[in-house]
Structure 1
Amino acid sequence: MKPAAAGAPYRVPPEPSRLPAFLLAVAVHAVLLGFLWFGISWQSNEPVAVEAEVWDMSVQSAAAPELPPPPPPKVEPQPEPEPAPPPRPVEPPPVERPAPTPPPDINLQREKERKEQEKRELAEKKELEQKRKEEQRKQELAEQKKKEREEAEREKKELAKKEADDKKKADEKKKADKLAAEKAAKEKAAKEKAEAAKLAKIAQDELKRISGAMGTSGSAAKSTAPKADAGYVAAITAAIKSATAYGGSTTMPGNPKAVFKVEQLPTGEIMSVRLVKSSGVPEFDRAVENGIKKASPLPKKKDGTVERTLDVNFSMKDYD
């Protein structure tokens, strides 16, 4: 076929004829059938002819005429090979027959074994449950101990912190108390110093007054003191008695008595207390001495004056 000229319209080539292919297929099948027929005929064998003669020894007779030869066997065509047998059907599984009922004693034995097996399984189950509970209890106990340790550590830390805070506060309080005590001591010392200076001035003025009243010769003779004022003595006794605290027994025989020498300023302030005669009971002596000091300043007379020196006598029965 010539190629189409440039610019010419394209033409579809005609479809080739199928007859040659069909004839070729018929020829191939014919050859195949010939080969099959030749193979089947080649494998067929002719049957072997068998001849037998029978002789009778007792009777002799004329020979029978010969029979005509048998016709040749007819060759039968070889049958075509049988097709493959179909697959063998699957046989259903045999049905199991129920086991025969065993005798009663075997049933009892099996029932006993079953019960024993159930008991063993129940015992194993209980044992496993007990082990599980034991493990759980151990775990809970360990967790509780851990919490207790943590709580103890926390409390220990809190206690240490509290002790540190308390110690700090105590130190601060101690320091503040020390400063306050020092301040109070300084103030008290200054106050006592001022009071001592005031009392010294008053005493000096009183001495000057007494010296002026006695004259200026410089040598004063000892004179007898005026008669004591009963009201003045009673007031001093009541003040000292109310300030004295004696918790001992006052039923001792002989009514012990303590005698003190008291020096006071014109204002009634006590300058000194000296034990002249002991009662024989130190506790009583100390109680009366402390009571005299606590009663300062002592009461004055009606005219506002005081006795510079007093002899104070107290017996145990005075405190009954």
Structure 2
Amino acid sequence: MSATKQTNIGNGAPYSVPPEPNRWPAIGLAVGVHAMLLAFLWIGVSWQNNAPVAVEAEIWDVTTQTAAPPPAPAPAPEPEPEPETPPPQPAPKAVEPPPVVEKPQPKAPDIALEREKKRKEELKRKQIEEERERKLEEQKRAEEKKAKALAEKKERELEEKKAKADAEKKEAEQKKKEEAEKKKKEEAEKKKKAAAEQKKLEAARAEEMRRITGAAGNPTSTGTAEKSTAPRIDKGYTAAITAKVKGNTSYAGSLDEPGNPTATFRVEQLPTGEIISVRKIKSSGVPSFDDAVEKGITKSSPLPKKKDGTVERSLVIEFHMKDLQ
């Protein structure tokens, strides 16, 4: 400043005091910075008393970012503005709303996260429950389907078994009916054949009787009747008949009867050797022996023929008990 004064004096210009620089912006800036520091200190103290450390850290991060501009007041070293610091007292009024508004904000993310977590857990629980119910329903349907299939299979088996039994019963009844009809037919054929045989025998008997009666009425007639009554009978023929009858005679009685019991029978036969009738002429005195001989004669039909192929239509045959030994 002395140099300036000298220069001005040397030039002959009048001396004037240069104007002081305007300090109000610096003062205002200093006041604002101090007010902000006080407000932050008050908020920090209140925050430490009411909020957890984690919340305090989050708030300080935000305030630190917003408080970055304070390094600007470089001319703060001047001591003059310090006495004027009391005016920042009304600053807390402007700072009071932030604690009320900002206090619940740190909990909001936790509540939202908790709600989201609960929502997801509830959704997962519902999904698990729905999946469990779905599986139970599927299992129930599968069991019902299996039970239905088993019942249908059992019903089919019963129906098949019943149908098979009915078919077997029907087949058995048909077979029984056929057998009955066959038996009935055989019996009818047998009766018919027996009737025809009986008729044939009766005709032969009638013819034989006519022949016998005719021979008796005509003593001069010749033929088989004469042969039957004549004593000239082939001994070999008689022996053959006796041997056959003996082979068919079964006598279970004792053969130690006194004497030699003899049974005499008249036998009528056809030209073929078939026996028409057997009649007992004389009993041996032993009925069981007589019956055995008669049955043996009947079983011997047809009787043997002569060497020339002829037969005696009427024969008188004697059988001795001792001959059966």
Same fold (TM over 0.5): no
In proportion to residue count, which structure has more helix? 2
Interval of TM-score (by shorter of Structure 1 and Structure 2)? 0.3 to 0.5
TM-score (norm 1): 0.42
TM-score (norm 2): 0.42
